[in-house]
Each structure stands twice: as C-alpha cells, then as structure tokens.
Amino acid sequence: MAMPHSVMLPFPDTSHINSMLQLAKLLHSKGFHITFINTETSKQTILESQGSDAFQGSEHFVFETVADAFVPTSLHTNQRVAKSSIKTYTHCASPLRDVLMKLNNSSGIPRISCIVYNWLMDFALDVGEELNIPAMVFCSMSACGFMADLHLEELVERGYTPLKDESYLTNGYLDTTIDWIPGMKDVRLKDLSSFVRSLDSDDFFLNNEKKVTKKSLGAQGLILNTFDLLETDVVNALSAMFQKVYAIGQFSELTRNITTNYRNSLCLNLWEVDGDYKAWLDAQKPRSVIYVSFGSLITVSHEELVEFAWGLADSYCSFLWIIRPNLVRGDGAILPQDFIEKTKERSYIASWCSQEEVLSHVSVAGFLTHCGWNSTLESISGGVPLVCWPGFAEQYTNTRYVCKDWGVGIEIDRDVKREQVTSKVKELMEGDQKANDMRKNAMKWKERSKEATSQGGSSYNNLERFIEDLNMMKQVSF
C-alpha cells in the first residue's frame, strides 16, 4: 500500500504555523509523507530568526514554498494582517496549484492523499477541487470561536452588526443576548468576535471571516485543536454541520508521545528566541511568577504599554514579560526608566520564548494574556490560570469561556488602567478564595487534557479515526 501524503498549508503567522506543524508531526509519526508549505515571506522571516537549519528536512518530511507579495512589517498589525491576507489570497492560488502538480508528477514522492489547510487559506479548497485532491480544513481557533464566526452572516442578516454608530459600543447594546447559535448558551454580542463591533458594512475582517468560514463547510472534514470535554456542546453542534469533525487537541500533548522522529522538537518562529529567560525562571521561587505575553499578532499603543508596566510594577509580583519587536505601534517599545529600575530585581523582559516551556515551569503561577487560542489552550493544559485582555477576533469568545464556563480566569477592561492591572494580578497571585478556585479548576482541566491525549482518551481516539479516514482517501488522477 502506498504511503499516504498530506500537504499542510498554514496561514503565515507564528501561532498558525506552529499549531499546524504540531499536527504535521503527528501525521508524520503515523507513517505519512508530509509536505509543509510556507509562503516565501514567512519563510524568509523564519530564516532570518532561526537560520537555514529551521527548514532542514528529514525522510518523508519536506518543506515547500509558494510565492506571495511582500508586505512591509512596519504597518499596524491589523492592517498588516488584512493586506497580507488580500495578497495571499490573490497571489498564492496559482503557485499552490503548481506546487501540487509538481509533487504529483515527481518520482519517489507518494501521490497526494489530501490537503490540510488553515481555514483562512480558503483558496486551497478551490485548488483541491480543481485537481481532485480531497481537502480538510484546519481550525486553529477555539471551537466556540469558530462556531460564532460561522454565524457572522446570520448576525448581519438579523441586523446585529455592523453597529449603527459608535454609541453602540458603550450604551449597553453589546450586552444583547444571542441565544440561537448552536451549542453556545448565555452568550452576549460582546462575547463574540471583535468583528461584530464593526461600524462599516465593507469591513475587511467581518466580510472575509464570513466568506472563509462559510466556504469551509465544503471541506471533507474539520480538524480542531481542542478536546471533546472542554467544548462538548459546540463540538457536537459542529459535527452536525461538517462531514466529519476531529477534536484532536492538545496537539503538543500528543506529540510528546513521539519518540522515533528527531524532528519532534521542530518549531518555526518569526522572532529569535531569547535563551536566557530559562535561567531566570529557574532562579525564581515556585509559583511566584506571572508570565505576560500578548501573542504574535496583537499590538498595543505606547500608552497601553506604560499602563501594563506600572500595573505590573505596583503588584510587586515577579514577572516574565514578552515584548516582541513589533508589539508596540509607532515608535517602539520604550519602557520608563524608573519602571525598569523599580522592577529590575523581580522581572525579565524577553523578545520571544518557548511559551509551553514557560507555562509548564514550576515558578509560573499565572498568565496575563490576550487570550488567543494557542495561548489559552496551552495555559489550560499547563494548569495555569489566566488574566485576560482580549482585543481581536475570537479572543473575546475565549475570554468568556475562560472566565465563566471553565472558571480559570479573570478579565481586564479593554481600556486598560494600571490600577486594574495591579488589582487583577494581585487577585490571581495572592491566593484568596476566588484565586484558589481558579487554580483548582486549572489543575482539573490540566488533568482532563492529559486524559484526552492519553491512550484511549478522546483526542487520542479521534486522531486514530482521522488517520484511518485519511488512509482510506483515494486521489483521482488528473
């Protein structure tokens, strides 16, 4: 029987790339030939931060690139994502088609069994249909966030969004209950994607997300980086909408069981990892550090940076803060000198890190985060409670579930003030009853995550089912 061959196409951003990379490693460990495709721009950025070894292939795990159009990185992140997305969709379909045809015409390479594509790269579904290659959609956001986005079109049709004017952002309208999204109970409009807060019917993010999520329904299956028990109602509801649904998270828990593949430590970063933070963490007392990171896409203003800085300083807690090169809009990350002096004995500021390594460290007791899904799930799987500051896409939905359904977090207002940062950080770190409850809940979900990914667990079994289904797929020659 010929070796199955899966082509993996992530969206060109660190969190999206590495979550799909985890899935690719799992498939490789199960006997798949993997072709992992990056855009030329993301590949070049990774080369600059990690060097050529980042793309050193191994037997049956190879890298390819597709041409895109360079977008200046000095743009505000939301603008950069929009422009990158437009140019990716415009420029990448034809190069992807060429790569797939080259692969299928190459001797010594198994014919492609399927394409696994990030839901934002929806042109891959068209190319797959054209070449008679089955396509599976990979969702790197939460199941609840994806379900909400699948109903953006209906939210527009029912008149909930776009908002009529700016007053609707503050007059209580966002507290409107939305009780008709399958699998989601007691959610408010403010708990859904940031895109519902648009005032413009031509808003790129709102319209693009409507398009790509609706189109994903045509894929032959949906892959989720979550586990059944965490999002039971939503996963069940999605199963009624897609041909097949596979909840296989937490991916990195499953990859820890890979022992034969030297590439299981592979990680692709757009920024160079600071190696010295590990020694600093080792020198801290157990459960004494709050980890602060806003992920790979969120940007903050200089004023917000300063409010977070003094909020952390006035909490008198030790902290590891990730300030990546493009975190701050405008002139860059300039921290007040007196803040640096006040906190130098109990802080470490790094440009990038191995987040799962940090969240599993014995010194870390909490995580101040934007609540992107990778960060949220990694924190839950690490048993670390969260202080949430959502700002973009489904981060508001994740925050609602973190704080209400899973009981592992508290939220900071979007209009961040140093006093609230101090208050929330101390609330989480100093051990009152609510903090104790959050810690207990976090440990409960950590154990459930381990159970799901252990042999016989739901994610383990769903991965086996996914592998079996992929092995049964037969490509029609073109």
What is the per-residue pLDDT across 209-231, written as a single tens digit (0 to 9) for each?
999 999 999 999 999 999 999 99
CB proximity list for 410: less than 8 A, separation 6 or greater = 386, 387, 388, 403, 424, 427, 428, 434, 438
Q: What is residue 261's predicted lDDT score, i.e. its pLDDT?
A: 53
What is the per-residue pLDDT across 129-181, written as a single tens digit (0 to 9) for each?
999 999 999 999 999 999 999 999 999 999 999 999 999 999 999 999 999 99
Of the listed ranges 37-46, 423-432, 469-478, the least confidently predicted one is 469-478
Q: Tell me, yes or no, if the two domains 5-270+452-472 and 277-430 fold the same way.
A: yes
Helix (H, G, I), strand (E, B) or coil at 358: helix
Q: What is residue 266's predicted lDDT score, i.e. its pLDDT?
A: 64
Mean pLDDT for all residues in the chain: 90
Which residue did the predictor score with more confidence, 257 or 367? 367
Q: Break the chain into its structural domains and give their ranges.
A: 5-270+452-472, 277-430
Closest listed residue to residue 457, CA positions, set 303, 247, 286: 247
What is the per-residue pLDDT across 337-361, written as a single tens digit (0 to 9) for each?
999 999 999 999 999 999 999 999 9
Helix (H, G, I), strand (E, B) or coil at 389: coil
Average pLDDT score over residue span 442-460: 97
What is the per-residue pLDDT across 22-39, written as a single tens digit (0 to 9) for each?
999 999 999 999 999 998
> Can you give the pTM of this predicted structure?
0.93
pLDDT confidence bin for 76, thresholds 50/70/90: very low
Average pLDDT score over residue span 459-476: 85
Q: What is residue 260's predicted lDDT score, i.e. its pLDDT?
A: 56
Helix (H, G, I), strand (E, B) or coil at 416: coil
The CATH-assigned architecture of domain 5-270+452-472 is 3-Layer(aba) Sandwich (3.40)
Tokens standing for residue 397:
């939905």
Report the run of H or E that residue 235 belongs to, with start and end: helix 232-239
Q: What is residue 81's predicted lDDT score, i.e. its pLDDT?
A: 54
Of the listed ranges 138-142, 230-234, 248-252, 421-425, the least confidently predicted one is 248-252
CB proximity list for 459: less than 8 A, separation 6 or greater = 227, 228, 247, 248, 249, 250, 253, 254, 452, 453
Tokens standing for residue 210:
């409507």
Q: What is residue 329's predicted lDDT score, i.e. its pLDDT?
A: 85
Which residue did the predictor score with more confidence, 31 or 74? 31
402 secondary structure, DSSP code = I
Q: What is residue 43's predicted lDDT score, i.e. its pLDDT?
A: 84
For 133, list phi and psi in degrees, rounded to 5. -110, 125
**Residue 476 reports pLDDT greater than 50:** no
Q: What is residue 477's predicted lDDT score, i.e. its pLDDT?
A: 40
- Pairing verdict, β 289-293 and 318-322: parallel
Average pLDDT score over residue span 304-322: 97
Q: 């743009």: which residue's tokens?
A: 75
pLDDT over 70 percentage in the chain: 92
Q: Report the C-alpha gap between 399 and 395 in whole angstroms.
A: 6
| Fold of the 277-430 domain | Rossmann fold (3.40.50)
Burial of 292 from C-beta contacts in 10 A (0-12 / 13-18 / 19+): buried
**Residue 262 reports pLDDT greater than 50:** no
